[in-house]
Amino acid sequence: MLEHMNQSLRHVTELPGFAAAPTRFLFFTGKGGVGKTSLSTATAIALADRGLKVLLVSTDAASNLDEMLGVPLSNHPVPVAGVPGLAMLNIDPDDAAEAYRQRVLAQMEADASDAERQTVREQLSGACTTEIAAFDEFAALLAGEGDGTAGYDHVVFDTAPTGHTLRLLSLPKAWTGFLAGNDRGASCLGPHSGLKMQEARFNAALRALGDPALTTVVLVTRPDPRPMQEAARTADELRQLGLGNQRLAINGVFRASRSDDPVARAIEDLGRQAMDTLPDALAGLPRDEIPLRAFDTVGLPALRALFAAAPEAAPDTAPTAPETATHLPAEPLHRLADELAAARHGLIMVMGKGGVGKTTIAAALAVGLVQRGHSVHLTTTDPAAHVADTLNGSLPGLKVGRIDPKAETDAYIAKIMASRGKDLDEQGRALLLEDLQSPCTEEVAVFHAFSRVVNEARTAYVVLDTAPTGHSLLLMDATGAYHRQMTRQYEGSASARHIITPLMRLQDPDTTKVLIVTLPEVTPVSQAAALQDDLRRASIEPWAWVINKSIAATGTTDPLLLARLQGEHRQAARIASGLACRTFVLPWLPEPPVGVEALGRLV
């Protein structure tokens, strides 16, 4: 059907404003799950179809561009078959980190000893190095450097979810400021010269990001208040960073085709209300609306049809919607709360792609455990931190916290200054404080806070709402790096038997239960499966999956929703056929479950 649609509709495709007159650099950013990858990829294809040379770049550690385009991910530009002029590049954090290490080591004096080189390599083995190395690749593209990037008319960036992207885009300013004020010593990234050699690149990246003739930021959202609020905050923060050339893209706008379908009417009404009450930071931006489609945006025909002006035809055979959610191979959420409550303590880590509803699931389970007589600490590592908004109230027995990167960094710096700086003279303390101003310090501080949360779960319930997948994997990298450092340090000693690192607690199913949340759509399920593979490589076995926002129980008769329901059943069967040991489901709700009472009803 899509191939036919592609041929019949290409001549009536109307490009949205961000693709009709694009600047050289296009950044697609927004809350996870809003469709950044779909829109950025469809844009890159549309520009290439116009005869332009385009480079599509993913900065997301959990990218699924390979699945969407059928092209293996690579840290070098790879041509996309079927789209002349389009190449794809993925900034792989591990590959970028190794290349960065080699560049820094190459700056060392020729007579440096093997021990000195090994020391530097160890300094460059943490998650912070991985982040700055990925940024270094990103900065090279903005500066017009890198492997064959100069010949492209446009570079389209498919970014990680908002919190991670804001940190990425703020790094040029953070590192240029750090380098300008630090002409001595070494940061946690190794020799200071290793950073100094990148300073010109960072400055060029800053200039490109702030030039409205070169760079446009496309803020992607859904017609839903929460991603719109996050897009508004992002718009303000990006303006403060000097990125003022912004556009708004509202993806997945639904129009009901049957007036007698209450589900379809409810979905349309919620979207219309959200668009009628845009936050001030978004209301004045140039705006594009992309309709909700009946198909998953995977493969060239679907991606080319995404911007089609004409609506799709109804599916050839409309499926029969099941009457209850039990027809899906999954159990209701209250059963999950019952099983978790039987353990009496432990860490419950709620993980998944951005936008799948992790915060709602985490908050509902925390409330459910309190309802069952337990005290619970609900906290989050997500820079967006929506836990308090979702609860919208208090409950005896429920403590709500947040691993706030800024607060944790300030506390960590104060602690280091009070300990390591206690016996230093004034010049030594000044040098130590200067070194601690490195943006890397934040990663270390957040890891220490995470370790405290893991330890707390030995005797109490802790429900952790994690950041979107890519950001969480960086935290897992830090946890693994610390584990390796401790085991090397105490290898062969009597103390080795008594060391229990945070990673070991995450690997212990009696202490930690990892829940993977997904939507019943092909891309979120594929990314959840990739996350599960990453966790298993660290010997962390997910305990259960949760399918959120299922429309199988709604009884809808709208043709477009019925077409999407076919895909939902395929994904539910895919999960049940081997991806998950146990699966739970939460149906789509006409009103978002906000507030302690509404969350309690879910469990």
The set of catalytic residues is 33, 35-38, 60, 523
- Which of 530, 53, 1, 18 minimizes the C-alpha distance to 290? 18
Helices 225-240/162-181 angle, 10° precision: 20
The single-letter code of the amino acid at 107 is: Q
Separation CA 175–CA 13 (nearest Å): 43
Phi/psi at 66 (5° precision): -60, -40
- Which of 125, 7, 146 minimizes the C-alpha distance to 443? 125
CA 453 to the chain's CA centroid: 21
Separation CA 153–CA 524 (nearest Å): 31
> Can you give the three-state secondary structure of 103-164, one letter per residue?
HHHHCCCCCCCHHHHHHHHHHCCCHHHHHHHHHHHHHHHHCCCCCCCCCCCEEEEECCCHHH
Separation CA 595–CA 146 (nearest Å): 49
- Which of 306, 354, 310 minimizes the C-alpha distance to 43? 306
Task: Please report which helix (H) or strand (E) contains residue 54, including its range.
Answer: strand 54-58
First to last CA, the chain: 40
SS3 percent helix, strand, coil of the chain, rounded to 5, is 50, 15, 35
Separation CA 365–CA 515 (nearest Å): 11
Label the pairing between strands 86-90 and 78-79. antiparallel
- Which of 552, 10, 60 minimizes the C-alpha distance to 320? 552
The single-letter code of the amino acid at 246 is: Q
Instruction: For residue 562, give Cα distances in angstroms to 61, 136, 318.
Output: 33, 45, 6
CA 537 to the chain's CA centroid: 20
